[in-house]
Amino acid sequence: MADPHIESPMDRYDHLMVITYRLGFTLACPVIALLPWQLGFPVENLVFLCAVMCASSLHIYMKSFRLLLQFATWGGLLCFVFGLPEIGMGGAFITLGGLCFKEYFCFKVPGLRLQPLLLAALWFCMVFDADIAAKVLAAISAVLFLITSIYKWRMPRHFDIGDKTKYDV
């Protein structure tokens, strides 16, 4: 997690990574909201896009936590590609939910700590065809993604980077 009071110098790559991370949260709002509606459009692919955008550009000091969240997305993507879409979606949800949990400590958005549980419940509802519950959970989760993305875009980019000397490499 970044230190907002420290402003490390940022190059183009840093700016691109912060913007990509924030766009992942922003895109997650409509994508998660549409996921249980089975619109005939491959919304699942967009869930992976959101997770990849966040996982590829997250800034977390602790290497083990950072790698866990990244591995969940990459492992989920491999499962999806090799014909296990339900397991793959779980990996994407682990990353997105874990990052929301992390963002709670930055913004204190009520309910944001529950996002991992909401996404897990959404996953179960989708796997076991509980359509109404899935739609309700997706709506709640989408609102939390929307609020988080608004908070993220309102803060300066260097807040996401923090002190570059503290990152476990």
Span of 53-57, 68-72, 129-133, 157-161 with lowest mean pLDDT: 157-161
Q: What is the DSSP string of 81-120?
A: HTT-HHHHHHHHHHHHHHHHHHHHHHH--TTGGGHHHHHH
pLDDT band at 168 (very low <50, low <70, confident <90, very high): confident
3-state helix, strand, coil in the chain (%, to 5): 75, 0, 25
What are the pLDDT digits (tens) for 108-117? 999 999 999 9
CA 97 to chain centre: 6
How many whole angstroms separate alpha carbon 92 and alpha carbon 76? 6
Cα distances (angstroms) measured from residue 116 to each of 3, 70, 133, 143 = 24, 15, 16, 14
pLDDT of residue 95: 98
Mean per-residue pLDDT, 153-160: 90
State the chain's mean pLDDT as an integer.
Answer: 93
Are 138 and 122 in contact, with CB atoms under 8 Å apart? yes
pLDDT band at 163 (very low <50, low <70, confident <90, very high): confident
The answer for residues whose C-beta is within 8 angstroms of residue 9's C-beta and 6 or more apart is none
pTM, rounded to two decimals: 0.92
pLDDT of residue 161: 84
Residue 51 structure tokens: 């997770």
pLDDT of residue 3: 61
Give the residue among 77, 89, 74, 59 at the shortest CA–CA distance from 161.
59
How many whole angstroms separate alpha carbon 82 and alpha carbon 35? 20
How many whole angstroms separate alpha carbon 166 and alpha carbon 46? 32
How many whole angstroms separate alpha carbon 161 and alpha carbon 92? 23
pLDDT of residue 4: 64
pLDDT band at 25 (very low <50, low <70, confident <90, very high): very high
